[in-house]
Structure 1
Amino acid sequence: MSNSSPEAPPLVTRVVAEAIGTLVLVFGGVGTALFAADAAVGPAGSPMGVGYLGVALAFGLTVVIGIYAWGPISGGHFNPAITLGLTIAGRLTWKEAVGYWAGQVVGGIVASTLLVLVGLFGPSGWLSTAQRGGFASNGFADQSPAGFGLGGTIVAEIVLTCIFVMVVAGSTSTRAPAGFAGIAIGLALTLGLLVAIPIDNGSLNPARSIATAIYGGVGAISQVWAFIVFPLIGGALAGILHKALFPEPKAL
């Protein structure tokens, strides 16, 4: 997640990297939520599902993988809120940001479409049941895993996304030790989702929310606006705070 430079790859190359990274993020994280979170009981009577912890770790691990694989190309955002925050902080231009957003949304939608394709070959009725259940979409009120209302979503998504994006900005600063940003960012996302999943299924990423909402039915589509607006607000706040409090040191 370094600053753009004359040596950076062409924008189209970086956009493709963002699309691939977001695809991996959504396929890995949402796939875990759909296929493994509440898996059937094993032959010895022990539950085989990974639960909230497993889903949060899956998202965190995919971010770590993506940052080390494609971060050297695009910076490894895979999240419109991160792109917004880093653009406000001065790391990208707005032209670059628009390209990144396009790649991220397309990559996420391709991933959720691939998950639907997998579901078509699942047990009878699996896909329709998953879609009736929201297809791991984000939601509040009657769409919330634990029944939290819109107010809970507003606070959680803004605060947790702001913290997450500040970790991204800080760990990729020129002050930070080189080579460790991916670990810090993956752990920060895991922590944020451990808090957010019971509240609203944990977004912190508009591209992830859009990708699942398009297959999650009317309820998911009707509420997806919240998971676009509030993570973006959190990301923007992070960019403003980082730029104001921790400006990059000037070159000697």
Structure 2
Amino acid sequence: MSNRIQITNPGFDNADQERCAGNEVQIDIGNDISRQRSRNEDEPVISDHIVKGNLYQALFVEFLGTSIYVFIATIPYYDSSAPGMALIALIACFGKISGGHFNPAVTIGVSLCGRLSLQATILYPVVQIVGGLLGAALTRAVQPPRAYIDNEYFFENGITVLRKDVKPGWALLCEGLITFFLVLTYLMCTLEKQKTNWVLSSLAIGFIAQANIIAADFITRASMNPARSFGPAVCTSVFTKNVWKHHYVYWVGPMAGSAIAAFAWRCIHCQWSCCFRPK
């Protein structure tokens, strides 16, 4: 559908107008609703990826990415850099499709910053938790049964439980702090510009995640991710119930840290500038 405006010179009679058809100006105003609209400059980059038509694609990517991450993070390994390297690769590959959360805590942080729809805020954690269950199940599938029966802590790099003599309160604070660092880095790297460089952003996010893992491994085993903790807990609970003793730490800590990170991001970007303006 288009509107056409014809402008003719009224000084000509009909004969002159037939001879001077070149004086006729035609202007087409295209308002074809089928034409794809370009993104507004003020439109947030994350919401632009998760438009209604691509929500199912984004959900599948979050499910797949979380499964891969949890599998790599939970399988026993000697090189502790594996989770961080996996996160770098996954965000670089899938960030432009779903935002590359792979973590309910990150999703909550992005939502609190006003950069995610309510529908995506509800559905993202669901598929992430299911993906975490699949990733942990794959880890259990490739491990021999005796690894679980003979020694419940053979899977110690997979499950996230408190280290010996660590108090729950301090563990809660630790998980909150490292999740705060992770989510704030994510927000600053991906919500800063209209066009996010996912390769560079993935490096920053992967590095801070790996630094947190190295720093907090001997306290809480550094989860920062409820989906990463819940899946292995379910798969290991068949052999030991100790995994549920302080499991709330790996939900409350990351969610609180994520909320504080969103608050800090809003303060940095003057979302509540009225509170900080000099009078």
Which TM bucket (shorter chain)?
Answer: 0.7 to 0.9
SS at match of 2:260: helix
Alpha-carbon deviation of 1:30?
Answer: 1.1
2:69 aligned partner, one-letter code: L
Alpha-carbon deviation of 1:104?
Answer: 0.5
Q: 1:139-150 counterparts in 2 under 5 A?
A: 139-140=161-162, 144=163, 146-150=164-168
In the other structure, the counterpart of 1:26 is 70
Equivalent residues of 2:63, 2:102 under 8 A apart: yes
Deviations 1:4-23 (A, max 9, x none): 12774522211110011111
Asked if residue 225 in structure 1 is aligned to residue 251 in structure 2, the reply is no
Q: 1:118 to 1:82 in 2, by over 3 A?
A: same
Structure 2 distance, partners of 1:7, 1:95, is 10
Any gaps of 5 or more consecutive residues in structure 1? 37-49
- Say which of 166, 190, 202 aligns to 2:222: 202
Structure 2 distance, partners of 1:13, 1:85, is 21
Alpha-carbon deviation of 1:177?
Answer: 6.9
SS at match of 1:198: coil
Alpha-carbon deviation of 1:232?
Answer: 0.7
Structure 2 distance, partners of 1:6, 1:188, is 24
TM-score normalised by the chain length of structure 2: 0.73
1:173 aligned partner, one-letter code: L
Q: Which has the higher helix share?
A: 1
In the other structure, the counterpart of 1:152 is 170
In the other structure, the counterpart of 1:164 is 182
Structure 2 distance, partners of 1:187, 1:224, is 26
In the other structure, the counterpart of 1:83 is 107
- Relative contact order, CA 8 A, sep 6+: which one is greater? 1
Which has the larger displacement, 171-180 or 74-83?
171-180
Q: 1:126-145 counterparts in 2 under 5 A?
A: 126-129=147-150, 131=152, 133=154, 136-140=158-162, 144=163
Asked if residue 13 in structure 1 is aligned to residue 64 in structure 2, the reply is no
**How many residues were matched structurally?**
221
**Percent of paired sites with the same residue:** 24
Q: Which has the higher strand share?
A: 2
Give RMSD over aligned pairs. Answer: 2.2
Alpha-carbon deviation of 1:86?
Answer: 0.7
